[in-house]
Amino acid sequence: MAIPRAAKTQRRTRIQEEKEEIILEAALDVFSVHGFKGATIDQIAEVAGMSKPNLLYYFRTKEAMHRALIDRVLDTWLDPLREFDAEGNPEAEIKSYIRRKLEMARDFPRESRLFANEILRGAPSIMEELDDLRKLVDEKVEVIRAWVKAGKIGRCDPYHLIFSIWATTQHYADFDVQVRAVLGPTRSGDGRFEDAARFLEQLYINGLQIRP
Amino acid sequence: MAIPRAAKTQRRTRIQEEKEEIILEAALDVFSVHGFKGATIDQIAEVAGMSKPNLLYYFRTKEAMHRALIDRVLDTWLDPLREFDAEGNPEAEIKSYIRRKLEMARDFPRESRLFANEILRGAPSIMEELDDLRKLVDEKVEVIRAWVKAGKIGRCDPYHLIFSIWATTQHYADFDVQVRAVLGPTRSGDGRFEDAARFLEQLYINGLQIRP
DNA sequence: GGATAATTTGACCGGTTGGTAAACATTACA
DNA sequence: TGTAATGTTTACCAACCGGTCAAATTATCC
């Protein structure tokens, strides 16, 4: 009789788990293409294969759906950077970072575009999370500075090094349409990620004057 | 009495020129942040300081405003690539290309974000233009291949070289909020573009094994 | 200055959107 | 199996959105 909104109940039922998963999956489809304002609950409901009020039973507002998605994505999005290890040698670390970021662009392009849409809008809903990001980056910047001091890599600005790796790898998810259009149908196969990986590894290994 | 829509008249009056300029300026503000679907004519009208029907007197539809903007932006957007010269030496050409792209990211961030929004959506309205882009890129790819053959730069995939320059430079416009958040208030001054330029020049000159 | 064309606006319209109310259906569990 | 909690749907609403219309205002040119 009472209306304990799914989101409020402490214990979550099997159905809640399943349906919320389906909804977030559909929401990711729609938000990642149309952005927050451009997406409509009706669209998401259609993709999810359920009625609009049913969606709103699990997530009280459109904002709540978006929020839940962003929170989930942001966390996994930074994993590759967290693994960036001071103990490892620069060549292996940077190569594997590039690889992992490229794999994410290939395997989770919607997540990348969701994030890109959010930043493009001015990131109104993730300012706090950006603060966490800053701290993590600052940490890794020190790792890179240590490498520079030890003479393991050439002098460079660690911040812009990180930015450039983000940019080059996410480009293949966010600007996928453009990449495909430029490469043409023959070069647009899955091989483009392997080609990108080879190019970027070479660029950074030589560019940072890393001595093996 | 008759209603010769501004857009249809052959001769354009002074007022038409002025007002269309004001409208496109306002539309750029709004579209670049909210994307096509997310933007509303009312918002644009408010920014432009005129009534909604007045906007629609100059541009018959929201689509027409967006179209006019995209057409204008795309043209100037590719100028730096057009100037990429086969005769010049690789070091100077690549350096100046990076510089020019970074200047555009600094001076025309809204235009960059408008374009990014369009590509993120799947570029529904600029498929033909992407074809022109492909041809231009193919041209420049040959230039780079010639440099490689002549031993002026190391072996590399020219397509991904171009992609990476696009990505790294546009990043400073499209992801400006993130860049600022990571750099913090002290490092977020205009100097960040100079720092980026230095880093990227070094990265590419060394990374492409360009011998001066 | 007056006729005519160009410009501007308030009022309005049909369709869409985010969200609600309440009745109905299903599930979990004693 | 009964029943209370959970899940689903139909019908609906108020606000908003893109766009129209006709009337009012302003600029242009003789």
Residue B163 and residue A204 in contact, taking contact as beta carbons nearer than 8 Å: no
B212 — pLDDT class (breaks 50, 70, 90): low
Q: Is the pLDDT of residue B6 over 80?
A: no
| Interval B139-169: pLDDT, tens | 999 999 999 999 999 999 999 999 999 999 9
Q: What is the pLDDT of residue A17?
A: 85
- The number of beta carbons lying within 10 Å of the beta carbon of residue A59 is 23
Phi then psi for B157, rounded to 5 degrees? -80, 115
Residue A114 and residue A69 in contact, taking contact as beta carbons nearer than 8 Å: yes
Q: What is the pLDDT of residue A105?
A: 98
Q: Where are the alpha helices (DSSP H) in A84-207?
A: 90-107, 109-120, 127-149, 158-174, 176-187, 191-207
Q: What is the pLDDT of residue B7?
A: 37
Q: Is the pLDDT of residue A3 over 70?
A: no
Q: Is the pLDDT of residue A95 over 90?
A: yes
Q: How far apart are CA A110 and CA A40, in angstroms?
A: 17
Q: Where are the alpha helices (DSSP H) in chain B?
A: 14-38, 41-48, 52-58, 62-77, 79-83, 90-107, 109-120, 127-149, 158-174, 176-187, 191-207
Q: Is the pLDDT of residue A212 over 70?
A: no
* Gyration radius from chain A CA atoms: 20
CB contact B49 to A (< 8 Å) = no
Q: Which of B125, B114, B82 is nearest to B100 (CA)?
A: B82
- The number of beta carbons lying within 10 Å of the beta carbon of residue A49 is 10
A12 — pLDDT class (breaks 50, 70, 90): low
Of the ranges A7-11, A18-22, A170-174, A206-210, which one carries the lowest mean pLDDT score? A7-11
Residue A177 and residue A109 in contact, taking contact as beta carbons nearer than 8 Å: no
Residues of B in contact with A38 (CB under 8 A): 34-38, 121
Residue with tokens 């053959």: B149
- The number of beta carbons lying within 10 Å of the beta carbon of residue B143 is 16
Nearest to A181 among B133, B198, B206 (CB): B133
Q: What is the pLDDT of residue A125?
A: 86
Distance from CA of A79 to the nearest CA of B (A): 17
Q: Is the pLDDT of residue A66 over 90?
A: yes
Q: How far apart are CA B56 and CA B24, in angstroms?
A: 12
| Interval B20-47: pLDDT, tens | 999 999 999 999 999 999 999 999 999 9
Chain A, 2-41: which have a CB under 8 Å from a chain B CB?
A: 33-38
Q: Which of residues 35-64 of A touch strand C (CB under 7 A)?
A: 39-42, 52-53, 56, 60-63
* Entry pTM: 0.93
Residues of A in contact with B116 (CB under 8 A): 116, 120, 174-175
**Which token pair is B94?**
């690549």
Q: How far apart are CA A56 and CA A61, in angstroms?
A: 6
A8 — pLDDT class (breaks 50, 70, 90): very low
Q: Is the pLDDT of residue A4 over 80?
A: no
Q: How far apart are CA B181 and CA A132, in angstroms?
A: 10
| Interval A76-87: pLDDT, tens | 999 999 998 878
CB contact A136 to B (< 8 Å) = no
Q: Is the pLDDT of residue B13 over 80?
A: no
pLDDT (mean) for A91-114 = 97
| Interval A118-140: pLDDT, tens | 999 999 889 999 999 999 999 99
Q: Is the pLDDT of residue B52 over 70?
A: yes
B10 — pLDDT class (breaks 50, 70, 90): very low
**Rounded (10°) angle between helices A158-174 and A90-107:** 30
Q: Is the pLDDT of residue B64 over 50?
A: yes
Q: How many CB pairs under 8 A join A and B?
A: 184
Percentage of chain A surpassing pLDDT 70? Answer: 93
Q: What is the pLDDT of residue A16?
A: 83
B11 — pLDDT class (breaks 50, 70, 90): very low
Buried b (16+ CB within 10 A) or exposed e, B76-85: ebeebbeebe
Q: Is the pLDDT of residue A15 over 80?
A: no
Q: What is the pLDDT of residue B69?
A: 97
Q: Is the pLDDT of residue A174 over 90?
A: yes
Q: What is the dihedral of CA A160, A172, B142, B155, to 10 degrees?
A: 60
Q: Is the pLDDT of residue B129 over 60?
A: yes
Mean of the per-residue pLDDT values for chain B? Answer: 92
Any idea what DSSP says for residue A8? T
| Interval B101-125: pLDDT, tens | 999 999 999 999 999 999 999 998 8
Q: How far apart are CA A113 and CA B114, in angstroms?
A: 15
Chain B, 148-167: which have a CB under 8 Å from a chain A CB?
A: 154, 156-157, 159-164, 166-167
